[in-house]
Structure 1
Amino acid sequence: MATTNVERDEIIRRAVMRRPDDFLNVTVHLWERLATELITLIGENGFQSLYVRSVHLTRTTYPWIVEGNPTHATEKRFAGLRNSLADYDIEIASAANRLLLTTLVDIIALLIGDILMTRILCTAWTNDASDIAGKELQE
C-alpha cells in the first residue's frame, strides 16, 4: 500500500506534538535526526538547498521563520529556526514547524517517492519514540 501525504502529515503532527511541554527541544531534535538521515542520502549541499527552499516556501504563510544556517555543526544548524519559533506561542510555532517539515518532506517525496520518504521519517524518528517511552517508564 502506498503512503499518502495524509499519512506523512500525521507522522509529522504526532512527532511535533509528542512533548508539548518541551516543544523547542523536541523540534530541534526532530530536525537534527531528519537532517542526519537525509544528508546520508542527498548530501550536505542537497539538504541545505532543500531546507532553504522549504523555508522560502513556508515564509509565504509564516514570514517570520528564520532560515538560519543549515551547514553549521549539528548543535547550531537549527538555532535560527529555534529562535524563530521561541517568539510565538506553541500553537502558532507548532503549525509553522509542521508546515516547514511537511514542505521539505513533500519536496523530497517528489524526488525519491512516498514510500522511501516515509521510511526515512520512521527511521529518523522511531528511535526517539522508544527512547522517550523508556525514559518515561524509568521516571
Structure 2
Amino acid sequence: MDHREGDRPQRPDHAGIRKQSDAPRDGREVEVLVRPWLRLGEQLTPLIGESGFCALFGRALRLTNTRFEFLGRCDPSRPVEDLFASLTRTLNEAEPEHAGEANAALLDTFTAQLRALIGDALTKQLLHVATEGGVGQKHEQERK
C-alpha cells in the first residue's frame, strides 16, 4: 500500500506549478523567455496598436492554454507592460521546463496568427528583429 496515496494532486492543472514554499528563482530564466515578447511588442504596437497586440496575444493565450493550463493565470490586459508583467509572473510560477515549453508554444501560436494576418515575409522580418535584436531591413523605397 502506498502511504502517499492521499497526497496525490486532485486536479491535473496543478502539474508544473511551483509551490509557494519552493525557493524563488532569480528570474533570469524567465527574463530570457520574455525578451522576444518585449521586442515583438516594440515592433508591433506602433503598427497594430496596444489593443491589437493584446487581442492577438490573448487569442494565442487562449489557444495555448488548452495544453498549458497554468497560462490561464496570465492576463492579456492593456497596457502591454501589464501584459508582460503578468506573463513574467505566470512563467516564474511554473517549473523551468514547463515555462520554456509553454512560452515556445505561445510564441508559435502567436506567430502563426500573425503570419495569417500579415504574411510570411513580414512575419519573418519582425521575428528576426524580435528574437535576434537586429534592426529591421528597409527597402530603398521605404527609406525615401
Paired position in structure 2 for 1:71: 78
RMSD value over aligned CA atoms? 1.9
Is 1:29 matched with 2:25?
no
* Structure-1 separation of matches of 2:112 and 2:33: 18
TM-score calculated relative to the size of structure 2: 0.67
* Structure-2 separation of matches of 1:106 and 1:38: 15
Maintained 8 Å contact 1:70/1:78: no
TM-score calculated relative to the size of structure 1: 0.69
Name segments (4+ residues, structure 1) moved above 3 Å: none
Superposed CA offset, 1:37-64 (max 9, x none): 1112211111111111111001100111
Paired position in structure 2 for 1:88: 94
* Structure-2 separation of matches of 1:123 and 1:62: 27
Maintained 8 Å contact 2:74/2:83: no
Structure number with bigger Rg: 2
Q: Whose helix fraction is larger, Structure 1's or Structure 2's?
A: 1
Structure number with greater CO (CA < 8 Å, separation at least 6) is 1
Q: How big is the shift at 1:114?
A: 1.1
Is 1:120 matched with 2:126?
yes
Paired position in structure 2 for 1:99: 105
Task: Work out the number of aligned pairs and report it.
Answer: 107
Give structure 1 stretches of 5+ with no counterpart. Answer: 1-20, 129-139
Give structure 2 stretches of 5+ with no counterpart. Answer: 1-26, 135-144
